[in-house]
């Protein structure tokens, strides 16, 4: 597998664009994004589990029920959620885009991110669509910018891989900076590939992948009303369509995982106000489920996150988060180690502290990417979770966002 340029336009037959249409007041910020496939692609999607769901998710779910899609349109600045006419607006968006592209309206994936509960006006979208379509090209970065809210960095990646002797490409863009903020936020991920794969296998691959990728990311523990991950596969690479769980399927899953894992790390590291990416790797759990519970509990602990902001090797907070996680763990066996580019340091063994150099620990924890390694000594279960530190800026960003 090889990392390549191009984001969602790396795969053959995909183009993209992003424009400022006027949903946001800042005229220099693109707020409407488009990803387009020359031919109809197979489509798979996963959605937020929040009971409060954005209207675009409902419309998308209907549109791709047949496993097919040809375009993705997404606005930022307004989540189109908890609005009386949300469904109507989302459907109108699909129709307007479909007309401009000359495709079927039910082949459009629609998404929104931004403020909840404020009616979304169709006018700027309607007026922006012609330029959006006209400018279609190798503009993954424009699309990427169009879906950003509080994100400080573009999140874009692509890889080349081989399936059945054919070179395939897969690439993605993402936004997400708090796991969610019903105001300006939500996690959105759009992935494109030219690998040929049936809609059923694509959905299977995606559903399995998110369990180990996006479901293991937490910025603030809140789950958005508009979270959504969508993959389009248009088969332009010319490989024989993947129809079963064979070797080719495994190769595709590996490529998909490379894209999603990269984007997970980007999302966590760009958490609102974050100064550090935290990666919690648990091993020795009695099973995978236990490892996941432990990894997520640690990565979600406000106390642990604040300690990491302060580069404080406060392993007691790790133990504590393991203890209240609800996982079946023998706390007398737990070992904890911090690691970064500056080295690693063991701080806890058999559930109790071990002498360590506070200076060395500080040096390790001052880095911008920190690994927390937890050994449970109880089996072969492993899991990784991603998060970020809790900082003054998180409070600032979220303390007064709407006004």
Among 7-15, 102-110, 202-210, 310-318, the segment contacting a copy of itself (CB under 8 A): 310-318
- Joined tokens for residue 126: 């309607």
d(CA 381, CA 390): 28
Of the listed 60, 150, 186, 192, which one is catalytic?
Answer: 186
Number of alpha carbons in the 13 Å side-chain half-sphere of residue 233: 28
Q: Report CA-CA distances (Å) from 169 to 159, 196, 289.
A: 6, 11, 32
Q: How far is the CB of 81 from a copy of itself (least distance, A)?
A: 8
Instruction: Please answer whether residues 168 and 161 qualify as being in contact, where contact means their C-beta atoms are separated by less than 8 angstroms.
Output: yes
Q: Report CA-CA distances (Å) from 235 to 167, 206, 258.
A: 11, 17, 19
Sorted by sequence, the CB contacts under 8 Å of residue 225 that are 6+ apart come out as 48, 50, 52, 53, 54, 79, 81, 82, 116, 180, 182, 186
Q: How far is the CB of 367 from a copy of itself (least distance, A)?
A: 16
Q: Does the annotation count 186 as an active-site position?
A: yes
Strand order in the sheet with 343-349: 352-353, 343-349, 335-340, 369-375, 277-285, 381-388
Among 157-165, 255-263, 302-310, 370-378, the segment contacting a copy of itself (CB under 8 A): 302-310
Contact with a copy of itself (CB under 8 A) among 40, 104, 122, 320 = 320
Contact with a copy of itself (CB under 8 A) among 139, 181, 276, 296 = 181
Site for a copy of itself in 258-287 (CB under 8 A): none
Contact with a copy of itself (CB under 8 A) among 26, 27, 84, 244 = 84
Specify the DSSP class assigned to residue 73.
Answer: E
Binding of residue 244 to a copy of itself (CB under 8 A): no
Contact with a copy of itself (CB under 8 A) among 4, 40, 82, 199 = 82
Contact with a copy of itself (CB under 8 A) among 42, 92, 225, 230 = 225
Among 30-38, 164-172, 258-266, 306-314, the segment contacting a copy of itself (CB under 8 A): 306-314
What Rg value do the Cα atoms of the chain yield, rounded? 22
Binding of residue 356 to a copy of itself (CB under 8 A): no
Task: Name residue 370's beta-bridge partners.
Answer: 278
Residues near a copy of itself (CB under 8 A): 49-53, 79, 81-84, 115-118, 178, 180-183, 220-225, 300-303, 306-307, 309-317, 319-324, 329, 331, 348, 351-353, 358, 390-392, 394-403
């Amino acid at each position: 597998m090889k990392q390549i340029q191009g984001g969602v336009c790396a795969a053959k037959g995909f183009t993209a664009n992003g424009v400022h249409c006027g949903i946001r007041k800042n005229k220099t910020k693109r707020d409407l994004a488009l990803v387009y496939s020359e031919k109809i692609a197979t489509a798979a999607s996963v959605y937020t589990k929040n009971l409060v769901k954005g209207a675009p998710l409902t419309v998308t779910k209907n549109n791709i029920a047949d496993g097919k899609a040809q375009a993705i349109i997404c606005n930022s600045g307004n989540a189109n959620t908890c609005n009386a006419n949300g469904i109507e607006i989302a459907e109108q968006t699909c129709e307007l885009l479909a007309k401009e592209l000359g495709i079927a309206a039910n082949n459009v994936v629609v998404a929104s991110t931004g403020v909840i509960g404020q009616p979304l006006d169709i006018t700027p979208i309607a007026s922006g669509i012609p330029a959006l379509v006209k400018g279609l090209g190798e503009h993954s970065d424009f699309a990427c910018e169009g879906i950003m809210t509080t994100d400080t960095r573009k999140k874009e990646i692509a890889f080349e891989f081989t399936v059945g002797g054919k070179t395939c490409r897969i690439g993605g863009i993402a936004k997400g900076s708090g796991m969610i903020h019903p105001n300006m936020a939500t996690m959105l991920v759009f992935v494109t590939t030219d690998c040929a794969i049936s809609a059923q296998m694509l959905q299977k691959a995606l559903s399995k992948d998110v369990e180990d990728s996006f479901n293991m990311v937490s910025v603030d523990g809140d789950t958005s009303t508009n979270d959504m991950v969508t993959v389009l596969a248009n088969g332009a690479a010319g490989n024989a369509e993947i129809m079963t769980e064979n070797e080719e399927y495994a190769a595709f899953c590996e490529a998909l995982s490379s894209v999603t894992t990269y984007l997970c790390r980007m999302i966590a590291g760009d958490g609102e106000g974050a100064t550090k990416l935290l990666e919690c790797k648990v091993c020795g759990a009695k099973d995978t489920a236990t490892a996941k519970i432990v990894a997520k509990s640690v990565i979600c602990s406000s106390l642990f996150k604040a300690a990491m902001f302060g580069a404080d090797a406060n392993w007691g907070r790790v133990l504590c988060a393991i203890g209240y996680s609800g996982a079946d763990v023998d706390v007398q066996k737990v070992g904890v180690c911090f690691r970064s580019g500056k080295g690693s340091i063991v701080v806890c063994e058999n559930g109790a502290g071990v002498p360590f150099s506070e200076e060395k620990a500080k040096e390790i924890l001052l880095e911008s990417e920190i690994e927390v390694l937890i050994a449970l000594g109880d089996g072969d279960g492993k899991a990784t979770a991603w998060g970020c530190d809790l900082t003054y800026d998180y409070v600032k960003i979220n303390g007064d966002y709407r006004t």
